[in-house]
């Protein structure tokens, strides 16, 4: 393993539960690895397989999705949809050779800050075990780049 | 008040409410009222709102940052157009009746214009006055001009000025002595000198010869000695000379008018100077060949060196004053001549140069001189030695000066003869001392009779002895000759110095200028105008011989008069000043001796005219200046005026008394922490390392006195061992504070945890009686403190604290549980001080006319917790009884509901809609992004390298501007951000700070105020999710912060403006649950004018309250309940649905549809808001033989029996109660809050029915919090036995024929004790009921880990659900007392009213939109939407109703063609953010 490998984790999390828990982890000063980058969504129901693949494409070593506890989704069933899509994306990752274990779905309630810290811990450890994402293009897919056009750096 | 009564009075109801006290209670109440359509006057005594909560560091049990929570609230209040903040104001009177009150309010001056101050803080740097910082409880200093904290609202600064300092008032010229003394203390000599010259152009002169009335009035006179003001002034003047650069006067634009000043003494000089400053052209006509008047020819050079006077005259000339020497007015140049020469006005300041005659024989002999003549001749270098043996007659300064001058001119023997004693002598003490030092003799009680001559030259003086008789009109005892005491003194010369008068011989005999008998010119005392309108007069010429400073003062006044005269203005208007003199209490202050300047050696100094008195060096001057007590707080040095760019400072602002008309008042004056000096055994105030808990909050706070570093005040060392002492000022009958203060156990726990975070390895010990963790989540917090943080809890009785005087370490002595006296050493002791009613509340209740209890809390009104003894006046918060923040917030909203119900008819009558500037059209613009990175005190800046993040942001694409802020949420940062948006024409903004959950709306409002669409905003959470959670890895946290900023900037570039549009609100409420909370909520909503559906699943109303007879306080529950039920049943706006369940609620806030199922029938009702009040239930225990032995019962069952029919205690001798059954265990780790009080209530009832029955309560901690403590004490007094057990070893119960046997393990004795019981009463837990669980599932409402409903925010949103439009109340939220259910129910009603009061609300925005052009109507979205919102429209494409869409985006991610986008959350925006994961 190269010495400089510092894994990057992207986390798509929902506002009402996991994001609240993540904020609460801050209030409680729970300490967890600094490798995670959060993208806040209103609901994990918004998670698209495209997001997951693109995250890997852009250099994430592992990706996590975290929504409300099963049955507690603020939007009734968004977390269930997310779960389905994560499952599907995992099969794609296996097919691609990246490996399904680079992607994980969590369910963390708003008051469960320790669970969030533990989830980040778990995924960081996993990223270290799996090593760097071999794709790591660090640029968006051409289709996205085209849409963004002038705004591209 | 009934519905009908209100309707009748509709016409004269006011739509405004006054909320008194702007702590968290006052703020919440104001917001709820304002958002429900009422105008709010929010009155607070302090300069800013926020109350005690603003001083807290973190809050329990979540450790949320108090400032972070409160600052958005502050801004909500400040930006709400319906709330008018009256800071520094107090209610002084109330008239009228409910609905139509007139309130008198006294507004103390702030001295700063609220509307003009930009909060930049430059004035703080300029202000020289330091006083103990009240916000930090005196742990450090602040300036006299100040703001409590950066996020304060109003954001304007304020000046503390309790009056003018006595020195300033005493000074005839009103020079701000305290001001320049304060500036000297800071080494700001140039500013200090300029301040003197503002009112006195002769600082060097007055620094030497002033009569210094200022010093005689100095507050330090009461303590030791006055400040050496004169010497300090001399130091200043000499400092400038030494610097070599004259700070030239700033003169206004030249004006053509010429003014003649007759005489160049201090009056003439200062008149000319101040006229010149105004641009006039003054010319001084001086008869003598030298300028300066008496200063030059009356005061010898050894007191006032000539070059010093010259320097000051040069200074005055530099202002544009012309001095013509040898130019007497009289025959050659008359007043008329001056007029003809074009002088518009004349100032006569000719002094008093004519010596008074003794009136004795021989006075005209050669060798007998007049003192003033002698000094004048000496000054002009024309005097010879007056003789070898000289007598000087008189006791004033002239006499002393003449004597000392004679000595210096060669006289060998100089004797002063004075007819009274030294005590009456008017000359200055030091002058007398210096004269004596120089060898001059003084004889007292002698008066001259006649001069004797040997030929022509005088050679003797016959004198007579005197004695003191009765006091004369001057108050001095009149000297009377002693017959037969005549004697002759041989002399060679004599100088008579008994006084002088003006010499008006130069005036033409026919002049109109009037004078009195003693040749004093007559002038108006205020304007100094003489009998000739264009001639003014001042100085000794008017007063007779007086001091230089009086002459200067008159010269200055004359300049004002002359200016006005020339401009044709009223001479007198506004010049009569009334002073309010500030005097400080000197008791207990340390004495510090006054510094004295050095003196020249007496033997040497008598040989020349060199100056005798020396001058302070810098160190002495500063040290002397630091003795000043800052009497007025503000020193009126006007430095703030100099630096305030905005021009916001108003030193002349005065108090205002206003009257406001309101319909109702809510009193929320809050509490003040107990004054710990009342418990001297703990050493507070004497030992530096004994702090109060509020002081310790400030110690912990990043914005506190030590920047968040935990340190000892005595030596700045980080403490290793801290002791918290609980119940200081609580549960203490000896000081009349019998009540429990509710919050101390939890805040001490919090402080212990947080202190450990700040200071690694810190050992925290808490000395307590009972741990009271009765609130939501408290017990878990307490357990975590013990187990995870190792906080040590010591159950004990405190004895005292003793300090080791050398190390300042502290020894805490206490009795442990086994009653052994133990002593332990600590580095610091924190006293957990209790809550006492705010002292200001006393004046308030008197002004308003409401009653208080013995402690000063508002008197409690039956089961009407928010009412006061006065109708229409409500109460909330800690003034009602000690309580924590969530309970306070609940009460605050509840009080808003009460006022709202009273004034429902007038809702909306006094408010105006909020207005924003027009939105800038940014179409076609390239992204121009501004990035603002927050330090958040040290919350972020202490971990993340903020400047590095800012630099990094500057290099990101489209970023045109990046800045850092100490607190981005502070009002001035917001203002700056708005200015930057304008300046750089920004069209997107990124803030990297805390969580968008708490602060996004705040920043969005800033954008709106700056004319940008609020959606052009993006936030990076670099605190809650970065600095706080990676506190130890600064580099990684910084790298992460950069990444988060980069990702946010990427998304920001793609943001688009978004607009909401109005949608109608169904102004009807739905209340679920018909218990006390539901009934109360429904009734209040109806009283507020909203149609309300009340749904109850059983066949009757009343819920658990049906089983309650009396509260602990003795209130009759059934009477209250039946009255409430009656009101609900007869209210035309309430529709009761019994035996009905809510199966589903569809729609969104403002537009809900509920399906109500009753039997087989399901009906749908429309409503705009929901209150969930489904209650709780008593746990039915299985332990302690509960289900097996009929002698075992629960508290509730016992309560019913004790208040029921028959003899419930027949044959009972012993009752044992066991607390915490089903509470505080592994499975249910929460406290049920009510059981301790229930046990106490039942125990008291048993004792009431039969005092012989033995009642034993087995407990873990007795949690009779707040005023319920009084009943616990009563129970103990009545003989109820309380025995503690440990959770590890619970009591054991076995049946027996002679009663149950209850064993309890005694910790102290280490053995099991046995009790027999005829009744065993279990304090069974409060549990969520089935209905709660069912509704949580059916309505998707969140539950907490104990199965109760979870509020949106533990502290500040205790009655809101996260789900908008849903509110909660009562037992369904957690265990509660009945009166708490009532308060919360009213709170929920108030919160619901904020929605229902609107006819329409804004919808849309972040919702899904279909690309109808390309939609192929595959219906995937229709199938996937959990709310069934997407519908196929007539054109065959899908339409999503923006008012109904929740914005979750499930449809968008399901759409196979990607034709649905959630606005503001488009795929591209999200992806682009994700794409910038790596740099």
B contact residues 1034-1093, partner A, Cβ 8 Å cutoff:
1036-1037, 1039-1040, 1043-1044, 1047, 1053-1054
- CA dihedral (B1109, B901, B1392, B76) in degrees, to 10, reads -120
In a domain? residue A151: no
Q: CB B820: neighbour CB atoms within 10 A?
A: 9
The CA-atom distances, in angstroms, between B940 and each of B27, B223, B932, B1223 are: 28, 48, 13, 39
SS3 B556: helix
Q: What is the mean pLDDT of chain A?
A: 86
pLDDT for position A69? 82
Tell me which of B936 and B1464 has the higher pLDDT: B1464
- ipTM value, please give it: 0.95
**% of chain B with per-residue pLDDT over 70:** 99
- B539: confidence class by pLDDT, cuts 50, 70, 90: very high
**Which of the four pLDDT bands, split at 50, 70 and 90, describes residue B847?**
very high
**What is the bridge-based pairing of β-strands B690-692 and B828-833?**
parallel
The answer to whether position A147 is within a domain reads: no
B1041 touches B948 (CB < 8 A): no
Residues of A in contact with B750 (CB under 8 A): none
A46: nearest CB among B1030, B1350, B1449:
B1449
**What is the tens place of the pLDDT at every residue in B892-913?**
999 999 999 999 999 999 987 7
Determine whether B653 is exposed, middle or buried from the number of CB atoms within 10 Å of its CB (0-12, 13-18, 19+): middle
Domain harbouring A62, CATH code: 3.40.50
For B1263-1307, what is the HEC assignment? CCCHHHHHHHHHHHHCCCEEEECCCCCCCEEECCCCCEEEEEEEC
Instruction: Write down the pLDDT at residue B1.
Output: 39
Mark yes or no for CB contact A39/B1473 under 8 Å: yes
CA distances from B1083 to B550, B689, B1092, B1325 (A): 74, 53, 8, 29
Which of B63, B1024, B1475 minimises the CB distance to A54? Answer: B1475
Residue B390 forms beta bridges with which residues?
Answer: B414, B493
How large is the average pLDDT for residues B661-667? 98
For B801: left if phi > 0, alpha if psi spans -120 to 50, otherwise beta; the answer is: beta
Q: Is residue A142 part of a domain?
A: no
Mean pLDDT of B1290-1308: 91
Closest-CA residue to B839 (of B667, B672, B666, B668): B672
Q: Is B1406 on the interface with A (CB under 8 A)?
A: yes
pLDDT tens figures, B1053-1072: 999 999 988 989 999 999 99
Alpha-carbon distance B1471 to nearest alpha carbon in chain A (angstroms) = 6
* Percent of chain B whose predicted confidence (pLDDT) is above 90: 82
For the ranges A36-50, A60-74, B728-742, B1272-1286, which has the lowest average pLDDT? A60-74
Determine, for residues A77 and B1426 on separate chains, whether the beta-carbon distance falls below 8 Å: yes
Give the per-residue pLDDT at A147. Answer: 61
CA distance A39 to B150: 31
The answer to whether residue A96 is domain-embedded is yes
| Position with higher pLDDT, B1445 vs B1270 | B1270
Distance between CA atoms of residues B929 and B921, nearest Å: 15
pLDDT of B966: 86
Q: Is the CB of B797 inside 8 Å of chain A's CB atoms?
A: no
Q: What is the pTM of this model?
A: 0.82
Query: Do you know the residue count of chain A?
Result: 153
Q: What is the pLDDT of residues B1141-1158, one digit of tens each?
A: 999 998 888 999 999 999
Digit-coded pLDDT (tens) for B769-778: 999 999 999 9
Distance from the first to the final alpha carbon of chain A: 32
Q: Let me know the angle formed at the C-alpha of B1461 by B1455 and B1463, rounded to the nearest 5 degrees.
A: 155
Residues B134-150 pLDDT 10s: 999 999 999 999 999 87
B471-506, pLDDT tens digit by residue? Answer: 888 777 889 999 999 999 999 999 999 999 999 888
b/e string for A56-67 if b means 16 or more Cβ within 10 A? bbbbbbbbbbbb
Is residue A74 in a domain?
yes
Task: Enumerate residues 6+ apart whose C-beta is below 8 A from B589.
Answer: B223, B629
| Chain B residue with the nearest C-alpha to that of A39 | B1474
Distance from CA of B57 to the nearest CA of A (A): 12
SS3 B494: strand
Task: Write the pLDDT tens digit of every residue in B594-648.
Answer: 999 999 999 899 989 999 999 999 999 999 999 999 999 999 999 999 988 778 9
What is the average pLDDT across B1289-1300?
A: 92
User: What's the pLDDT at B64?
Assistant: 75
What pLDDT is stored for residue B998 in this prediction? 74
Helices marked H in B364-428 = 371-379, 397-408
Q: Which residues contact B1403 (CB under 8 A, 6 or more apart)?
A: B1060, B1061, B1062, B1063, B1148, B1150, B1442, B1443
H helices, E strands: number in chain A: 5, 4
d(CA B318, CA B322): 9
- Give the DSSP H/E element, type plus range, for residue B813: strand B810-815
Q: For residue B1177, what pLDDT is reported?
A: 96
- In the predicted model, what is the mean pLDDT of residues B834-842? 92
- Local structure of B1063: helix, strand or coil: strand
CB within 8 Å of chain A, chain B residues 857-916: none
Cβ contact B997–A23 (<8 Å):
yes
Segment B327-383, tens digit of pLDDT: 999 888 888 899 999 999 999 999 999 999 999 999 999 999 999 999 999 999 998
Whether B1471 and chain A come into contact, CB under 8 Å, resolves to: yes
User: How would you classify the pairing of strands B39-43 and B16-20?
Assistant: parallel
pLDDT above 60 (res A150):
no
A150 within some domain: no
Model confidence over B1421-1443: pLDDT tens digits? Answer: 999 998 778 988 888 889 998 87
| Domain count of the fold of chain A | 1
Does residue A136 surpass a pLDDT of 80? no
Mean pLDDT check: name the lowest of B58-67, B309-318, B820-829, B1107-1116: B58-67
Residue B856 and residue B667 in contact, taking contact as beta carbons nearer than 8 Å: no
In this structure, are residues B196 and B312 in contact, taking their beta carbons and an 8 Å threshold? no
B67 contacts on A by Cβ (under 8 Å): none
Which 8-state DSSP code applies to residue B59? E
SS3 (DSSP) at B440: coil
B498 touches B347 (CB < 8 A)? no
pLDDT in tens, B795-813: 999 999 999 999 999 999 9
| pLDDT on residue B5 | 42
More confident residue, B511 or B1275: B1275
Predicted local confidence at residue B253, as pLDDT:
95
Q: How confident is the model at residue B2 (pLDDT cuts 50, 70, 90)?
A: very low
Q: Which of A3-17, A64-78, B898-912 has the highest mean pLDDT?
A: B898-912
Nearest to B1474 among A45, A54, A153 (CB): A54
Taking CB atoms and an 8 Å cutoff, what residues of chain A touch B776?
Answer: none
Q: What is the nearest CA distance from A47 to chain B, expressed in angstroms?
A: 7
Q: Is the dihedral of CA B1461, B1465, B1469, B1473 positive or negative?
A: negative
Question: Average model confidence (pLDDT) for chain B?
Answer: 93
Q: How confident is residue B1286, by pLDDT bands cut at 50, 70 and 90?
A: very high
Range name among A93-107, B809-823, B1461-1475 with the lowest pLDDT average: B1461-1475
Distance from CA of A125 to the nearest CA of B (A): 16
Q: Given phi > 0 = left and psi -120 to 50 = alpha, else beta, which region is B1148?
A: beta
Cα angle for residues B968, B972, B973 (degrees, 5° grid):
25
SS3 state at B364: coil
What whole-number distance in Å separates Cα of residue B881 and Cα of residue B680? 26
Residue of A nearest to B1447 (CA): A42
Report pLDDT for B29: 98
In a domain, A3, yes or no: no
Residue A66 lies in a domain: yes
Question: Which chain A residues are within 8 Å of B1452, Cβ to Cβ?
Answer: 46, 48
Burial class (CB in 10 A: 0-12, 13-18, 19+), B234: buried
Q: State mean pLDDT over B727-745.
A: 96
Tell me how far apart the terminal alpha carbons of chain B are, to the nearest angstrom: 66
| Contacts for B265 with CB less than 8 Å, ≥ 6 apart | B292, B293, B294, B295, B349, B351, B539, B540, B551
The Cα–Cα gap between A54 and B346 comes to 91
Angle B1252-B1258-B1261 (CA atoms, 0-180°, nearest 5)?
125
3-state secondary structure B1121-1176: HHHHHHHHHHCCCEEEECCCEEEEEEEECCEEEEEEEECCEEEEEEECEEEECCCE
pLDDT of B1348 > 70? The answer is yes
Tens digit of each residue's pLDDT (9 = 90 or more) over B991-1038: 999 988 878 888 998 999 999 999 999 999 999 999 999 999 999 999
pLDDT of residue B650: 95
- Distance of alpha carbon A131 from alpha carbon A7, whole angstroms: 8
The predicted pLDDT at position A148 comes to 57
In degrees and rounded to multiples of 5, residue B769 shows phi and psi of -105, -55
> Which residues on A lie below 8 Å from B1037 (Cβ)?
34
Q: Is the Cβ–Cβ distance between B1077 and B1370 less than 8 Å?
A: yes
Residues of the domain holding A18: 9-136
Say if CB B662 and CB B41 are below 8 A apart: yes
Helix, strand, coil percent content, chain B, rounded in steps of 5: 30, 25, 45
Whether the predicted pLDDT of B969 surpasses 90 = no
Winning range, highest mean pLDDT, from B1-5, B455-459, B570-574? B570-574
SS3 B111: coil
| Contacts A19 to B, Cβ<8 Å | 995, 997
Are B549 and B171 contacting, i.e. CB atoms less than 8 angstroms apart? yes
Q: Please determine, for residue A152, whether its predicted confidence score (pLDDT) is greater than 70.
A: no
């Amino acid at each position: 393993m190269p010495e400089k490998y510092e894994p990057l984790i992207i986390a798509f999390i929902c506002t009402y539960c996991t994001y609240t828990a993540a904020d609460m982890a801050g209030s409680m000063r729970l300490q967890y690895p600094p490798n995670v980058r959060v993208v806040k969504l209103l609901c994990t129901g918004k998670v698209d397989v495209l997001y997951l693949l693109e995250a890997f494409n852009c250099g994430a070593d592992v990706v996590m999705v975290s929504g409300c506890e099963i049955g507690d989704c603020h939007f009734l069933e968004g977390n269930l949809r997310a779960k389905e899509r994560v499952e599907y994306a995992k099969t794609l990752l296996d097919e691609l050779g990246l490996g399904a274990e680079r992607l994980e779905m969590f369910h963390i309630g708003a008051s469960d800050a320790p669970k969030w810290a533990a989830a980040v811990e778990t995924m960081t450890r996993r990223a270290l075990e799996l090593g760097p994402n071999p794709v790591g293009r660090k640029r968006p897919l051409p289709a996205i780049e085209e849409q963004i056009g002038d705004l591209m750096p | 008040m009934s519905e009908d009564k209100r309707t009748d009075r509709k016409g004269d109801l006011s739509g405004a409410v006054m909320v008194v006290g702007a702590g968290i209670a006052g703020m919440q109440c104001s917001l709820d009222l304002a958002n429900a359509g009422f105008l709010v006057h929010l009155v607070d005594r302090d300069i800013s709102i926020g109350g005690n909560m603003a001083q807290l560091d973190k809050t329990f049990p979540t450790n949320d940052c108090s400032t972070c929570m409160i600052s958005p609230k502050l801004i909500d209040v400040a930006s709400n157009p319906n709330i008018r903040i009256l800071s520094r104001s107090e209610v002084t009177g109330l008239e009228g009746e409910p609905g139509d009150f007139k309130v008198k309010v006294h507004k103390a001056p702030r001295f700063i214009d609220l509307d003009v101050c930009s909060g930049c803080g430059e004035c703080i740097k300029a202000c020289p006055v330091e006083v103990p910082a009240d916000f930090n409880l005196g742990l450090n200093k602040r300036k006299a001009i100040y703001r409590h904290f950066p996020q304060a609202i109003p954001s304007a600064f304020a000046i503390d000025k309790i009056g003018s300092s006595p020195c300033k008032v005493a000074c005839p010229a009103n020079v701000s002595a305290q001001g320049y003394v304060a500036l000297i203390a800071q080494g700001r000599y140039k500013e200090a000198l300029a301040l003197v010259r503002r009112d006195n152009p002769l600082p060097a002169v007055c620094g030497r010869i002033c009569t210094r009335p200022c010093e005689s009035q100095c507050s330090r006179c009461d303590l030791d000695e006055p400040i050496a003001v004169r010497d300090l002034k001399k130091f200043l003047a000499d400092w400038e000379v030494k610097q070599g650069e004259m700070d030239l006067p700033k003169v206004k634009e030249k004006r053509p008018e010429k003014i003649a000043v007759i005489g160049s003494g201090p009056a003439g000089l200062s008149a000319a100077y101040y006229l010149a400053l105004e641009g006039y052209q003054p010319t001084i006509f001086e008869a003598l060949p030298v300028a300066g008047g008496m200063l030059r020819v009356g005061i010898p050079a050894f007191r006032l060196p000539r070059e010093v006077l010259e320097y000051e005259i040069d200074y005055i000339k530099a202002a544009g004053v012309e001095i013509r020497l040898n130019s007497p007015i009289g025959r050659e140049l008359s007043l008329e001549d001056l007029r003809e020469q074009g002088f518009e006005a004349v100032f006569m300041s000719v002094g008093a140069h004519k010596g008074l005659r003794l009136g004795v024989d021989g006075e005209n002999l050669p060798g007998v001189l007049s003192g003033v003549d002698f000094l004048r001749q000496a000054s002009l270098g024309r005097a010879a030695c007056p003789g070898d043996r000289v007598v000087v007659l008189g006791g004033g300064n002239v006499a002393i000066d003449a004597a000392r001058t004679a000595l210096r001119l060669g006289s060998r023997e100089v004797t002063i003869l004075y007819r009274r004693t030294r005590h009456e002598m008017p000359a200055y003490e030091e002058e007398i001392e210096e004269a004596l030092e120089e060898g001059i003799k003084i004889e007292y009680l002698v008066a001259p009779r006649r001069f004797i001559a040997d030929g022509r030259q005088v050679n003797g003086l016959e004198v007579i002895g005197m004695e003191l008789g009765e006091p004369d009109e001057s108050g001095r005892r009149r000297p009377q000759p002693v017959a037969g005491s005549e004697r002759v003194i041989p002399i060679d010369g004599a100088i008579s110095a008994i006084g002088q008068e003006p010499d008006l011989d130069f005036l033409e005999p026919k002049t109109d200028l009037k004078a009195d008998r003693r040749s004093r010119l007559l002038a108006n005392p205020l304007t100094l105008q003489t009998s000739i309108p264009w001639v003014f007069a001042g100085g000794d010429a008017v007063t007779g011989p007086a001091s230089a400073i009086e002459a200067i003062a008159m010269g200055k006044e004359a300049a004002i008069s002359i200016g006005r005269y020339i401009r044709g203005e009223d001479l007198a208007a506004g010049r009569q000043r009334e002073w309010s003199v500030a005097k400080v209490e000197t008791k207990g202050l340390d004495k510090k001796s006054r510094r004295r300047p050095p003196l020249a050696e007496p033997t040497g100094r008598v040989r020349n005219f060199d100056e005798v008195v020396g001058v302070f060096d810098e160190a002495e001057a500063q040290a002397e200046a630091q003795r000043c007590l800052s009497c007025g707080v503000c020193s009126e040095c006007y430095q703030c005026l100099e630096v305030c760019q905005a021009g916001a400072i108003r030193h002349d602002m005065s108090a205002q008394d206003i009257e406001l008309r309101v319909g109702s008042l809510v009193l929320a004056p809050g509490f003040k922490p107990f004054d710990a000096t009342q418990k001297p055994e703990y050493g507070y105030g004497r030992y530096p390392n004994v702090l109060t808990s509020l002081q310790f909050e400030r110690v912990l706070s990043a914005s506190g006195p030590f920047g968040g570093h935990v340190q000892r005040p005595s030596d700045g060392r980080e403490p290793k061992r801290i002791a918290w002492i609980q119940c200081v000022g609580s549960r203490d009958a000896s000081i009349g504070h019998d009540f429990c203060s509710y919050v101390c156990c939890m805040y001490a726990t919090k402080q212990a945890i947080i202190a450990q975070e700040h200071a690694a390895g810190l050992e925290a010990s808490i000395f307590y009686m009972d741990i009271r963790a009765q609130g939501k989540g408290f017990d878990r917090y307490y357990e975590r403190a013990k187990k995870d943080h190792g906080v040590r809890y010591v159950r004990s009785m405190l004895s005292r604290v003793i300090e080791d005087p050398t190390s300042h370490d502290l020894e805490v002595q206490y009795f442990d549980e086994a009653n052994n006296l133990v002593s332990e050493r600590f580095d610091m002791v924190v006293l957990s001080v209790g809550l006492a009613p705010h002292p200001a509340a006393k004046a308030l209740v008197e002004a308003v006319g409401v009653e208080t209890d013995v402690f000063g809390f508002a008197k409690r009104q039956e089961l009407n917790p928010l009412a006061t003894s006065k109708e229409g006046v409500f109460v909330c918060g800690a003034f009602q009884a000690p309580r924590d923040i969530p309970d306070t917030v609940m009460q605050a909203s509840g009080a808003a509901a009460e006022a709202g119900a009273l004034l429902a008819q007038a809702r909306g009558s006094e408010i105006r809609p909020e207005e924003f500037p027009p939105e800038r059209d940014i179409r076609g613009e390239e992204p121009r992004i501004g990035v603002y990175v927050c330090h958040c005190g040290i919350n972020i800046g202490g971990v993340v390298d903020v400047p590095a993040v800012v630099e990094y942001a500057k290099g990101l694409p489209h970023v045109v501007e990046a800045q850092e802020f100490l607190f981005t949420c502070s009002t001035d940062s917001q203002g700056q951000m708005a200015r930057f948006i304008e300046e750089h024409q920004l069209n997107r903004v990124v803030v990297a700070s805390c969580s968008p959950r708490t602060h996004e709306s705040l920043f969005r409002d800033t954008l709106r105020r700056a004319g940008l669409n609020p959606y052009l905003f993006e936030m990076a959470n670099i605190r809650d999710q970065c600095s706080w959670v990676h506190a130890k890895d600064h580099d990684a946290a910084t790298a992460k912060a950069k990444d988060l900023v980069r990702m946010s900037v990427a998304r920001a570039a793609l943001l688009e403006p978004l607009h909401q549009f109005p949608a109608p609100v169904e102004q009807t409420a739905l209340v679920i649950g018909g218990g006390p909370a539901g009934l109360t909520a429904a009734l209040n909503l109806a009283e507020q004018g909203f149609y309300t559906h009340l749904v109850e699943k059983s066949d009757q109303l009343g819920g658990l309250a049906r089983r309650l007879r009396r509260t602990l306080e003795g209130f009759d529950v059934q009477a209250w309940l039946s009255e409430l039920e009656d009101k609900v049943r007869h209210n035309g706006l309430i529709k009761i649905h019994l035996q009905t369940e809510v199966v589903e609620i569809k729609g969104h806030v403002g537009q809900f549809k509920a399906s109500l199922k009753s039997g087989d029938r399901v009906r749908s009702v429309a409503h705009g808001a929901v209150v969930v009040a489904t209650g709780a239930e008593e746990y039915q225990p299985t332990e302690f033989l509960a289900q097996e032995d009929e002698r075992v019962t629960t508290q509730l069952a016992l309560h019913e029996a004790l208040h029921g029919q028959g003899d419930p205690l027949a044959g009972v001798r012993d009752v044992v109660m066991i607390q915490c059954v089903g509470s505080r265990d592994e499975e249910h780790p929460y406290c049920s809050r009510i059981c301790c009080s229930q046990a106490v209530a039942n125990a008291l009832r048993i004792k009431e029915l039969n005092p012989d029955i033995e009642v034993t309560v087995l407990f873990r901690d007795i949690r009779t919090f707040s005023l319920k403590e009084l009943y616990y004490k009563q129970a103990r007094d009545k003989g109820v036995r309380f025995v503690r057990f440990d959770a590890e070893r619970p009591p054991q119960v076995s049946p027996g024929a002679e009663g149950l046997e209850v064993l309890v393990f005694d910790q102290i004795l280490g053995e099991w004790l046995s009790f027999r019981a005829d009744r065993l009463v279990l304090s069974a837990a409060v549990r969520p009921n089935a209905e709660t669980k069912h509704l949580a599932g059916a309505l998707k409402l969140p539950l907490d880990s104990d199965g109760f409903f979870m509020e949106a925010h533990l502290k500040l949103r205790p009655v809101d659900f996260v789900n908008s439009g849903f509110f909660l109340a009562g037992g369904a939220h957690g265990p509660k007392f009945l009166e708490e259910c009532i308060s919360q129910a009213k709170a929920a009603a108030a919160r619901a009213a904020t929605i229902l009061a609107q006819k329409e609300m804004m919808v849309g925005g972040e919702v899904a939109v279909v690309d109808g052009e390309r939609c192929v109507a595959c219906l995937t979205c229709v199938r996937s939407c959990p709310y069934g919102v997407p519908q196929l429209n007539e054109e065959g494409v899908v339409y999503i109703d923006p008012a109904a869409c929740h914005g979750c985006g499930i449809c968008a991610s399901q759409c196979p063609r990607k034709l649905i986008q959630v606005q503001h959350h488009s795929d591209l925006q999200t992806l682009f953010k994700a794409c910038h994961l790596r740099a």
